[in-house]
Amino acid sequence: MLAVIHIGVLAGLLWYGYRQVGEPQLRPYYWPAALIKLAAGAGVGLLYLYYYRGGDTWQLFRQAELVAGRAFTSWQGFLLVYGGGDLSAIPGFAYTWQPRAAFMVRLLAPLAWLTGGSYWLTGAYLSIFSLRAMWLLARTAWQQWQRQWPTLVPALFLPTLVFWTSGVLKESVAIGCMAVVLALAWRLYLGRAVDRWQAVGALLAWLVLAMLRYYYAALLAVTLLAYVMAAYLPTRIRKKYGVRALLLFFILLLFAGSLLHINLWPSRLPAVLAHNYYQAVLASGWQKVVQLPGLEGNFLSLLLYSPWALWQGLFAPLWPEPFGWPRLLAVAENWLVLAALANGLRDWRWPTAGRGRLWVTAWLLFVITAAILLVYASPNLGTLSRIRSGYYLVWGYLIAALYAGKRPERK
């Protein structure tokens, strides 16, 4: 009976989301996107259950069940879980020294409790949250481009992005929150009105993103602040030096942000990245990581390897060995993305009107920086396919922009 009730609630959420899509040109794609998203959420659970024989998604859910059993059986337990208490006081809690995973468990616990401990229903709720966030971003893209496929594909039909932002994964929540922030920023860039509740929602989304994937939250803040600082320079200075000013602001803000965490201090960052890289090599094996032979813990070595790291971060893997179905599918998608980029660049022109050049440059800097740093920090190709979802979303829309100005679609 409980399952039937939740299926009804999920159906109601999907129908409400459909009614919210006011653009008649986009509505036909809502239900296919929703079904794919729900299937991807179930696929995540099946992949980790039968192919990987365990992993983050099932561990997170079991820990959420454990925490829910304490939080929702007494007010003392609720205060322990949601009043800033130490979750290590709960016997069996596994994420004492992993604050981001512990935060995700706190988010999952109410769903685990309400669904009666159903992994699949919990995954469906998270998939719908991600779907709504991605639709918000896609509808914002439509306001600028008025073209279906450039608007819809990056957020809703790019296979690995759809898959790794569905179901019981931190990325379902984190990248969904990131999509909300991106949508609001894009609306402001387009000069659209944003009410206070939208602004509050975007701020809350950024805070949740910071708790789950702090590097994306920090890089988003740096990118948007650098853009605003460059875009609102005096007109004469902006037209002549805008891109150079944007680059300078971006670097200065990155440097300032690096001082907030000891492992990001310039004096420590190269050694930390090199250490993380070789730890991943030891744990995964040479064939399963981005290969950076001879990487050293200094800025010169990181700089020399950066072009290759960027290429790998955007397009790896391109070869299906060692063979595995997840890798084979990722290879097929990467070749399609590479072909789409090459084709789109043939007759593309760098934007010159208004602040468009600064906007595009800012997001290129976001993608380049995130891709390089995440390859160094997490070079395992399987893990990279999942955690790159944040910058891959932006990368998808940058590629889509190459097609947005081409000949109109048939009505």
Residue 405: what pLDDT?
A: 67
Residue 224: what pLDDT?
A: 97
- What is the sign of the dihedral through the CA atoms of 339, 343, 344 and 346? positive
Type of residue at 321: E
pLDDT digits (tens, 9 = 90+) for 337-391: 999 999 988 877 766 666 888 999 999 999 999 999 999 988 988 888 899 999 9
Given a cut of 70, the residues of the chain with pLDDT beneath it are 286, 323, 350-354, 405-411
Residue 411: what pLDDT?
A: 36
pLDDT digits (tens, 9 = 90+) for 66-110: 999 999 988 999 999 998 888 888 999 999 889 999 999 999 999
Distances (CA, A) of 345 to 100, 151, 152, 290, 349: 39, 18, 20, 26, 8
Closest CA to 187 of 245, 131, 138: 138
Determine the Cα–Cα distance for residues 356 and 362; give it in Å rounded to an integer. 10
Angle at 95 between CA 89 and CA 99, to 5 degrees: 100
Determine the Cα–Cα distance for residues 4 and 185; give it in Å rounded to an integer. 39
- What residue ranges do the domains of the chain occupy? 2-210, 258-404
Cis-peptide into 24, omega within 30 deg:
no
pLDDT digits (tens, 9 = 90+) for 29-49: 999 999 999 999 999 999 999
Residue 353: what pLDDT?
A: 60
